[in-house]
Amino acid sequence: MSHRLSITKTPKCYVGGAFIRSESGRVTALHDASGTFFANIPQCTRKDLRNAVEAATKAGPGWAKRSAFNRGQILYRLAEMMEARAAELAEALTLNGASKADASREVAASIERVVHYAGWTDKYEQILGSVNPVASAHFNFTVTEPMGIIGVIAPDDSPLLALISLILPAITSGNCVVALASSPQPYPSILLGEMLTTSDLPGGVVNLLTGLRSEMLPTFATHEHLRALSGAVNAADRKTLKLGAAESVKRVHLLKAEEPIDWFADKRQGVEEIRTLIEFKTTWHPVGA
Amino acid sequence: MPKTSSKTNPARELVFGDLWEYDPAPETADPKLKPRYDLFINGSYVPPRAGKYFGTINPAQETKIADIALADASDVDSACKSAQKAFTHVWGKMPGKERGKYLYRIARLLQDHAREFAIAETLDGGKPIKESRDFDIPMAAAHFFYHAGWADKLEHLAPGRQVTPHGVVGQVIPWNFPLLMLAWKIAPALAAGNCVVLKPAETTSITALKFGEICQEAGLPNGVVNIVSGAAETGAAVIQHPLTTKVAFTGSTEIGKSIMRSLAGTEKKLTLELGGKAANIVFDDAPLDQAVEGIVNGIFFNQGHVCCAGSRLLVQESIADAVLAKLKRRIAVLRVGDPMDKNTDLGAINSREQLTKITDLVQSGVTEGAEKHDNGCKLPAKGFFFRPTIFTNVSMSHRIAREEIFGPVLSILTFRTPDEAVEKANNTSYGLSAGVWTDKGSRILKMSTLLKAGVVWANTYNKFDPTSPFGGFKESGFGREGGKQGLLDYLRVD
């Protein structure tokens, strides 16, 4: 029996519900821990970022209008898709040398995190919103609204868990996301895209880019349609992002990548992370005949 | 004078015309001002190290009221250090219940001194005494009273998480509601367990510095509240100081952006309450007389020096003529003049600089082709005054429809469908507030959902309450003031 030549996969980025190569045509060769060539990863550009923002702009209103129950079901469906392909995700994490046990642990934690947020979609409003007892004859209430499109910049540690921990609180409340995966460890994001596409999540709600962080950050910083930036980056990148954010009063929530972050910790998930990516709207409704 | 007839039932102002003038009704209580105000640092009034002072004037008369200490970086440093010391040794350790009692005392003392504060506010800032007396000061006291009760209940703000104060908070406030903005800043900061260094606006320092006397009277521990007066450089020193780990600013979007840039290399927490260009939307089913009162209140309250002022009126086309006619009639009887007079509706513009800015923008409206109408009233010979002004034939591209004027100037636009109203209302980089006038409750809720603004007033305008979070979307800033949402911005959540 002759040896069968395997079919290798061409990794593509998940943008606007489709799988794309970078418009630049550039790729970065990805090698496994032993130095063997694994695949070529798209090296996205600021043009790809702008296209992704455009896709998110189209998807945004529809996603924000979905019922909380529906968003929860879709997120739970994502957990189902990831569970079914958990082994493949774990293998992707071992590419950079993670042990099998550590890789499995990260995949399990990532799936748990999706389930955690699936349960928040129809509850955070009751925790964060309020009815306010004003002195005048008004029914005064504060509700949350998604900010719009959130730029997510993932760190290199825990490349799957960190990425998904940053994306989930944004989409739970109806935001859309344009995310940049870890530059040295982009492959988990490629797989995540393949799972998102089968999760019933509308195309364009989450857009996953791969490429060089240093190339992409300035555009993340200044793109006016990104209403907030969320991520874990080093001090110099934080400064770049904050300086750019000032131009359109963009909200910025950045963790310090130079300090160890325990992405497995309970405090890396929950309603507080959702709160940082919503707006509060207060309505004064008259009470009377 | 028009001939009256019982059939046509003409408006009162047309019957009386110019026959009688109102008698002056000046407020005469003593504001208990000092000729010179020093900095309030570590519980005492201390002269600025460089010995510099600047004059603060009464904008209604252009006369000097007092000399105000000009704090430089070394004064700010000493204020921040005393705040840090108070935080480490006293305030940060104090049980919330005890902190709360100090805030209750402050609320009560502000009520006790309400009249003198109201007069001081009006003298220094130019707002009508009826507003400082009935709105600014009582609302400032209410903010302390509301937040006092939170001090021992902070754990309810972020369920499942630990909340801790930031430490020293640096706060810079504007000149439009001097004491009220101080209360919005200091009350939640203190309730959360922080100590503060606050810089009042250059033209309105007096009530903030008088507030130091309230702190002394309340026995507030030294250093918990520090007030450093001065201009932009003083504010920058407060914002930049390494000890102020949290910064809160209210003012223009332009300065807010420069603050964001200046803090880009730091880990400071920041909240900003910036400018606005709010749409006040009147539908054809709105109660028109009530709406006209709301439009007037929305744009002429505090001479229009309000970040959430309803400066863009969007009227449904079918009622535009009727609304305009009623509005002109209403504006005709607005009284502009001595802010100390209890019958005054519009007081003085806060400063010559602001008057120039308003005048320039109004001129741009005329130049760009909008049609200007003001009430033609007589203005006092001295002081900074501006007539209530409305513009018709305004297009969305006009500067008066896009830029914050911060004065008594209303731009009127029309719309046909609710969708068009939403599109026009949201077509701005700001997103602080909006107004909706309609008889339909369901339309209120729908419009509120679609308007990109942090506060939506329905069949009312410019309403505020300590329990009700206030703050903007988009370039109107981030963070909230008031309510549990506002208070949480003064805490670290772990």
For residue range A152-186, what is the model confidence (pLDDT) as tens digits?
A: 999 999 999 999 999 999 999 999 999 999 999 99
> Does the CB of B299 have a partner CB in chain A at under 8 Å?
no
B480–chain A Cβ distance below 8 A for any pair: yes
**Residue from B208, B238, B221 nearest B43 by CA:** B221
pLDDT of chain B, 494 residues: tens digit per residue: 444 444 556 666 666 667 777 889 999 999 999 999 999 999 999 999 999 999 999 999 999 999 999 999 999 999 999 999 999 999 999 999 999 999 999 999 999 999 999 999 999 999 999 999 999 999 999 999 999 999 999 999 998 899 999 999 999 999 999 999 999 999 999 999 999 999 999 999 999 999 999 999 999 999 999 999 999 999 999 999 999 999 999 999 999 999 999 999 999 999 999 999 999 999 999 999 999 999 999 999 999 999 999 999 999 999 999 999 999 999 999 999 999 999 999 999 999 999 999 999 999 999 999 999 999 999 999 999 999 999 999 999 999 999 999 999 999 999 999 999 999 999 999 999 999 999 999 999 999 999 999 999 999 999 999 999 999 999 999 999 999 999 999 999 99
In terms of Cα–Cα distance, which of A200, A268, A190 is closest to A20? A190
Q: Answer whether B458 sits within 8 Å of A284, measured CB to CB.
A: yes
ipTM over 0.90: yes
Query: A126 touching B, CB under 8 A?
Result: no
State whether residue B165 sits within 8 Å of chain A by CB.
no
State the pLDDT at residue B6.
Answer: 45
Quick one: average pLDDT of A74-88? 98
| Average pLDDT for A87-107 | 95
Range list of β-strands (E), chain A: 13-15, 18-20, 27-31, 37-42, 130-132, 138-146, 149-153, 176-180, 206-209, 226-233, 251-256, 278-286
Q: Report pLDDT for A17.
A: 98
Average of per-residue pLDDT values in chain A: 96
The whole-number pLDDT of residue B22 equals 83
Q: Which domains does chain B have, with CATH numbers?
A: 36-273+474-493 (3.40.605.10), 279-458 (3.40.309.10)
Residue B3 has what pLDDT? 47
Helix (H) / strand (E) containing B270: strand B269-273
> Which chain B residues are Cβ-neighbours of A283 within 8 angstroms?
444-445, 448, 455-456, 458
Q: What is the pLDDT of residue B5?
A: 44
Q: What is the pLDDT of residue B10?
A: 61
Contacts of B480 in chain A (CB under 8 A): 280
> Is A123 part of the contact surface with chain B (CB cutoff 8 Å)?
no
Return the closest-CA partner of residue B414 out of B338, B297, B322, B337: B322
| Cβ within 8 Å, pair B445-A285 | yes
How far apart are the CA of B457 and the nearest CA of chain A, in angstroms?
5
A218 touches chain B (CB under 8 A): no
Q: Are β-strands B269-273 and B371-374 bridged in parallel, bridged antiparallel, or unpaired?
A: unpaired
CA A49 vs. chain centroid, Å, equals: 14
Q: What is the average pLDDT across A258-287?
A: 97
CB B310 within 8 A of CB B298: yes
Cβ(B84)–Cβ(B222) under 8 Å? Answer: no
- In chain A, residues with a C-beta closer than 8 Å to the C-beta of B260 are 242, 245-246, 249
The catalytic residue among B80, B215, B307, B308 is B307
Distance from CA of A129 to the nearest CA of B (A): 8
List the single best residue of B146, B253, B257, B260 to mutate versus A (max A Cβ within 10 A).
B260
- The maximal CA–CA distance of chain B, rounded, in angstroms, is 76
Q: Give the closest-approach CA distance of A240 to chain B in angstroms.
A: 8
* C-alpha distance from A283 to closest chain B C-alpha (Å): 5
With pLDDT > 90 as the criterion, what percentage of chain B qualifies? Answer: 95
CB within 8 Å: A279 and B473: yes
8 Å CB contact between B41 and B79: yes
Residue B307 annotated among the catalytic residues of the structure? yes
| pLDDT given at position A288 | 84
CATH 3.40.605.10 is the classification of domain A13-24+37-286 = yes
Q: Is the pLDDT of residue A127 over 70?
A: yes
